[in-house]
Each structure stands twice: as structure tokens, then as C-alpha cells.
Amino acid sequence: MISALDLFKIGIGPSSSHTVGPMRAACNFARQVQESGLLPEVQRVQIKLYGSLSATGIGHGTDRAVIAGLMGQQPDQADPDQLTQAVDAVQLDARLPLAGTHSVTFDWQRDLQFQPVSLPRHPNAMRLAVSGQDGKVLFENTYYSIGGGFVVDEAQAAEGQTGAAREEVELPFDDAEQMLALCRQHNLRLADLVLRNERTWRPEAETRAALLEIWATMRACVARGLRQEGVLPGGLSVERRAPGMYRRLNRRDALPNLITQTFSAMDWVNLYALAVNEENAAGGRVVTAPTNGAAGIIPAVLHYFMDFQRGANDDDVVDFLLAATAIGVLLKRNASISGAEVGCQGEVGSACAMAAAGLTQVLGGTPEQVENAAEIGLEHNLGLTCDPVGGLVQVPCIERNAMGAIKAINAAQLALSGDGKHKVSLDTAIRTMRDTGRDMLDKYKETSRGGLAVAYAEC
């Protein structure tokens, strides 16, 4: 099983698969070199990025993330502003402090290579190696960033590992049908089922505290996104819209009329989603939910509930995230949350399904209604391609989060209007996403070689 704290990770933008994952992999590699006692012998470090990491690596900050990881930085602990300065210094001085302590010469052009080919196990692959004075390789390993910040190395990938904890939980389930059967058998809400399983890793109080910390990080990301002005980095000259929209909404809502009251909630949901993903695009602190590219959907929908539902409290936050976790576990296990593997349906589609489930849970939905909401959220994102313009997580990614959040709320409303019975099951929708991703051409899977990425360049 996958823990909620594996699924929701505190990290930095702009991408969980292209930034957070590679940074974690590089940090693990540096630690292995240090623990093996080889660090004093290292004279050169070589980095090779393959497949999607090569195609959109510069726009997604993969090259800089790997350097940061080799310096011993972790995405959940690093200060984004200080990290930028530290990586800039490596490029300027041509010196890399491996594991934060051992300085080696590093030629950004020679020692960091972008390979257009893909490795067999996953399109997000990177190979790291260190060599000694005579040029002989001392240690090397291949890593796969499999989506949502999850990372496996070559040996783990060969064993079919997922980068998550492998302990047996109290109430395991492999699909939604089993999940619902367990809820009925034990008379549990979906959030309660997941909480029982989280006891495998930590006491219940620690899980609750950790999830509230996740929510605090999401709120801080929204708040910072509402304050930051200017143009996003990367060369597309995309203006931050959240601060101006925030000021306009505050002025408008001070003088409400029927129209503004009708659209107020939706406008605030759009604002929250934009604020998060503009922060993500700028390399700020975000929570993978379940990925960075889709990081704004769950915070926006949870903000919507907390702001507009009278009496909402911390227990609701925990229940929301736990129910979302149940759906995220199924999506990752039985399909993918990686845009490079199945397109944006695996990122925005997954986040939409998770948010719809969380909202339905805290609005009092039955497990069957929660499952129905998740299915609706996923079904209406099937086939969504990942085609970021310029290889940046900006266009159409930022607006796509706002659309995904609105879809999630509508999915919850539709599910709550029924009794949980529906024609297409969540398991069927997940299998369809997996199969659609397999059929999708690679140019639509986070390579910026098709779709809007190409159409924009042709304009």
C-alpha cells in the first residue's frame, strides 16, 4: 500500500517527476557514494538525462534539480531562493560540492548530457556516475522518476517496486471494488479505512498532525501566490494573474449582487488554483497532490470547502486528504500519475478524481458516492494530453488546474445527487486511463513535441 504521506509530498516546483524526483534520486546517489567511502576519490561527476527528462528537462528545471540533489539538497527541506543561488554558483564557478562536502570540477556542458532516446523501463530516466583520477568509473546507477516524486533505481525497477513503503496494512485493497467491500464489511467511511491502514506506519495522532502540516503548506503556497507579482521565469513572458484577480475579487465581493453571489465560489476556486500553480511554475514550495503539475486542484477544492462550508474544521481536512489518498493509491497502482507515461490525464485527471472524492467525503457522502465522484472526475479527463508549451509547466498547465478544480466540485455535486450507483465503475475508468495512455503517441506525453506545444510555436 501507499501511505498518504508518500502521496502528498512537500517539495518545490515546477515538476514532481522532473524536479522533485530527480533531486531525490541525485541526493540518494550522493549519499550512496559518501557511505561507500568513495567520496574522497571522486574527480568527476557525469549526468545523463533520457526520454522525457531530456525533452523537457530544461523547461522543468531537471538539470538544476539534479545538481541540487548531488549537493545533498532534499526537495522537502531546501529553501527555493537559496537553492537557486547555490545552483547558479555551480554553473558560474564550475565546481560542484558533491554531497555538500567534496568539491569536484563540473563542466555544465560536458558533464550534463541530454539523451533523446528513452530507456526501456520508464520515459523519465537518468544515469549518474562518478569517476576517479584515472577516469575509471567508481560508482554508477540508473534512476527512474515514475511520477509524483516517486523514484526507483535500476534494481528496484527490475523488482517492480513503486518507490513507496511495502509493509502489509490492516485492510489492504487492490481495486475500488475491494475498497468498497471493506467499507461495507467493517462499516467504515472511506477516510476511516485509509486511517486504519496508516497505523501501519505511525500512530493516528502523528498521521493527523502530518496531514495538517500538508494543509498548512498548501495554504502557505496559496497565500504566497496571492502576493507575488510579475512575470514567470522561462521565456514565455507569462504574467502572474493571481494577485490582480485577488484584489478584484475582494473589491467585487464587498458590493455583492445576485450575479457575484452566484459566481463567487467558482471565482475563488479558480483563484486558489492559479495561485498554487503560478508558485509551482516559479519553483516555489508546493505539495505534490499527487503531482506538481496538478498541485493546485486539491488545495483549491479544499479551500473551497473550508471557506464556504460553515463549521468546517481540522477533522474535515484530515478526512478530505484521507479519502483523496484512497483514490490516489488506486490510480498510481493500477494506472499511472506520470504525465510522461500516460499524458495529463494521469496528473490533472488523477488530481480531479482525488479532489472529487475528498469533497464528497466531507460533505457526508457514502463510500459508494465517493467512488462515484472519483469516477466522474477521472472519466471527464480521459485522453487529456501533456503538451506544455516551451517545456514549461505554465501553458496550459496553470489554467488546466483551475478547470480541474471546477470539474472536481461538479463531480462531487453529481455524485451526491445520486445513491452511488452508476454504469461505469472507477476501476473501469482507471483501466481505461491506463490503456489510453499506452495508445497515446509519445509526442503527447510531456515531450513538448506535439499538441499545443507545437501549435503555439507555429503561430
Is residue 167's pLDDT more than 90?
no
Instruction: Please report, for residues 19, 65, 71, the alpha-carbon distance to residue 151 in angstroms, rounded to integers and kept in the order given.
Output: 11, 14, 18
| Residue 256's pLDDT band (cuts 50, 70, 90) | low
**pLDDT recorded at residue 53:** 96
The rounded distance, in Å, linking the Cα atoms of 75 and 287 is 10
Q: Evaluate if pTM is beyond 0.85.
A: yes
Is residue 262's pLDDT more than 80?
no
Q: Among all chains, which residue has been given the C-alpha cell 472536481?
A: 408
**pLDDT recorded at residue 18:** 96
- Going from the N-terminus, what domains does the chain have, and what CATH number goes with each? 14-159 (3.30.1330.90), 176-456 (no CATH)
% of the chain surpassing 90 pLDDT: 92
Q: Which helix (H) or strand (E) holds 22?
A: helix 21-35
Pick left, alpha or beta for residue 438 (phi over 0 → left; psi -120 to 50 → alpha; otherwise beta): alpha
Is residue 264's pLDDT more than 90?
no
Beta bridge partner(s), residue 104: 96
**pLDDT recorded at residue 259:** 59
What are 91-150's pLDDT values in tens digits?
A: 999 999 999 999 999 999 999 999 989 999 999 999 999 999 999 999 999 999 999 999
What are 399-442's pLDDT values in tens digits?
A: 999 999 999 999 999 999 999 999 999 999 999 999 999 999 99
Is residue 258's pLDDT more than 80?
no
% of the chain surpassing 70 pLDDT: 97
Beta bridge partner(s), residue 141: 128
What are 361-375's pLDDT values in tens digits?
A: 999 999 999 999 999
What are 169-227's pLDDT values in tens digits?
A: 999 999 999 999 999 999 999 999 999 999 999 999 999 999 999 999 999 999 999 99
What are 294-338's pLDDT values in tens digits?
A: 999 999 999 999 999 999 999 999 999 999 999 999 999 999 999
Q: What does the DSSP assignment read for 134-152?
A: TS-EEEEEEEEE-STT-EE
The rounded distance, in Å, linking the Cα atoms of 348 and 324 is 14
